Amino acid sequence: MVFKHPNFYETKPEIEIEFPNRAVLESAVSDALASAGGLDASDVTVIAEGSEVALAGSVFQVEEINRAEEVALSVAGVTAVRNAIQARSDFSQPRTM
Protein backbone atom coordinates (compact mmCIF):
# COMPACT_ATOMS: atom_id res chain seq x y z
CA MET A 1 0.00 0.00 0.00
CA VAL A 2 1.27 3.48 -0.91
CA PHE A 3 0.65 6.45 1.37
CA LYS A 4 -0.32 9.62 -0.46
CA HIS A 5 -0.14 13.05 1.10
CA PRO A 6 -3.42 15.03 1.25
CA ASN A 7 -2.65 17.20 -1.78
CA PHE A 8 -4.61 17.89 -4.92
CA TYR A 9 -2.41 19.00 -7.78
CA GLU A 10 0.28 19.94 -5.27
CA THR A 11 -2.01 22.23 -3.24
CA LYS A 12 -3.21 21.42 0.21
CA PRO A 13 -6.97 20.87 0.57
CA GLU A 14 -9.03 23.74 1.98
CA ILE A 15 -10.33 22.91 5.42
CA GLU A 16 -14.02 23.79 5.60
CA ILE A 17 -13.85 24.73 9.30
CA GLU A 18 -11.45 27.61 8.57
CA PHE A 19 -13.73 29.10 5.91
CA PRO A 20 -17.47 29.08 6.51
CA ASN A 21 -19.54 27.37 3.85
CA ARG A 22 -20.16 29.80 0.95
CA ALA A 23 -23.92 29.40 1.02
CA VAL A 24 -24.07 29.94 4.78
CA LEU A 25 -21.96 33.11 4.62
CA GLU A 26 -23.85 34.48 1.60
CA SER A 27 -27.13 33.79 3.37
CA ALA A 28 -26.00 35.49 6.57
CA VAL A 29 -24.86 38.61 4.71
CA SER A 30 -28.04 38.71 2.60
CA ASP A 31 -30.18 38.39 5.73
CA ALA A 32 -28.23 41.16 7.46
CA LEU A 33 -28.61 43.45 4.44
CA ALA A 34 -32.34 42.72 4.21
CA SER A 35 -32.96 43.54 7.87
CA ALA A 36 -30.61 46.54 8.15
CA GLY A 37 -32.13 49.96 8.63
CA GLY A 38 -31.34 52.75 6.19
CA LEU A 39 -30.80 50.37 3.30
CA ASP A 40 -32.91 48.83 0.53
CA ALA A 41 -30.79 45.91 -0.63
CA SER A 42 -33.44 44.17 -2.73
CA ASP A 43 -31.26 44.53 -5.86
CA VAL A 44 -27.94 43.65 -4.21
CA THR A 45 -26.25 40.30 -4.83
CA VAL A 46 -23.80 38.68 -2.43
CA ILE A 47 -21.03 36.28 -3.48
CA ALA A 48 -18.62 34.80 -0.93
CA GLU A 49 -15.12 33.53 -1.65
CA GLY A 50 -13.58 32.20 1.51
CA SER A 51 -14.13 34.90 4.11
CA GLU A 52 -14.29 37.70 1.52
CA VAL A 53 -17.67 38.93 0.27
CA ALA A 54 -18.40 40.68 -3.02
CA LEU A 55 -21.42 42.98 -3.21
CA ALA A 56 -22.89 44.00 -6.56
CA GLY A 57 -26.11 45.55 -7.82
CA SER A 58 -27.84 48.83 -7.19
CA VAL A 59 -29.40 50.92 -4.43
CA PHE A 60 -31.43 54.14 -4.55
CA GLN A 61 -29.08 56.50 -2.74
CA VAL A 62 -25.30 56.88 -2.60
CA GLU A 63 -25.37 56.71 1.23
CA GLU A 64 -26.72 53.15 1.03
CA ILE A 65 -23.52 51.94 -0.67
CA ASN A 66 -21.39 52.58 2.43
CA ARG A 67 -24.14 51.30 4.70
CA ALA A 68 -24.21 47.98 2.80
CA GLU A 69 -20.46 47.59 3.23
CA GLU A 70 -20.68 48.33 6.98
CA VAL A 71 -23.47 45.78 7.42
CA ALA A 72 -21.58 43.10 5.46
CA LEU A 73 -18.41 43.64 7.52
CA SER A 74 -20.42 43.26 10.73
CA VAL A 75 -21.42 39.68 9.86
CA ALA A 76 -19.40 37.02 11.69
CA GLY A 77 -16.92 35.33 9.37
CA VAL A 78 -16.56 38.24 6.92
CA THR A 79 -13.03 39.67 6.83
CA ALA A 80 -13.18 41.79 3.67
CA VAL A 81 -15.79 43.29 1.35
CA ARG A 82 -15.43 44.14 -2.34
CA ASN A 83 -18.15 46.68 -2.97
CA ALA A 84 -19.33 47.14 -6.58
CA ILE A 85 -22.77 48.54 -5.72
CA GLN A 86 -23.94 51.54 -7.74
CA ALA A 87 -26.54 54.15 -6.89
CA ARG A 88 -29.49 54.30 -9.26
CA SER A 89 -29.10 58.07 -9.40
CA ASP A 90 -25.78 57.40 -11.15
CA PHE A 91 -27.65 55.52 -13.90
CA SER A 92 -29.84 58.52 -14.72
CA GLN A 93 -26.87 60.84 -15.27
CA PRO A 94 -25.74 61.08 -18.90
CA ARG A 95 -22.25 59.69 -19.37
CA THR A 96 -19.65 61.98 -20.83
CA MET A 97 -16.83 60.62 -22.90
**Residue 73: which CATH number?**
3.30.1340
pLDDT digits (tens, 9 = 90+) for 16-49: 555 558 889 999 999 999 999 889 999 999 999 9
Contact 47, 54 (CB under 8 A): yes
15 domain-assigned? no
11 domain-assigned? no
pTM for the model stands at 0.71
16 domain-assigned? no
Enclosing domain of residue 54: 22-92
74 domain-assigned? yes
Burial 4-34 (b: 16+ CB within 10 A, else e): eeeeeeeeeeeeeeebbeeeebbebbbebbe
97 domain-assigned? no
CA distance linking residue 33 with residue 22, whole number of Å: 16
pLDDT digits (tens, 9 = 90+) for 57-92: 999 999 999 999 999 999 999 999 999 999 987 555
Domain count, the chain: 1
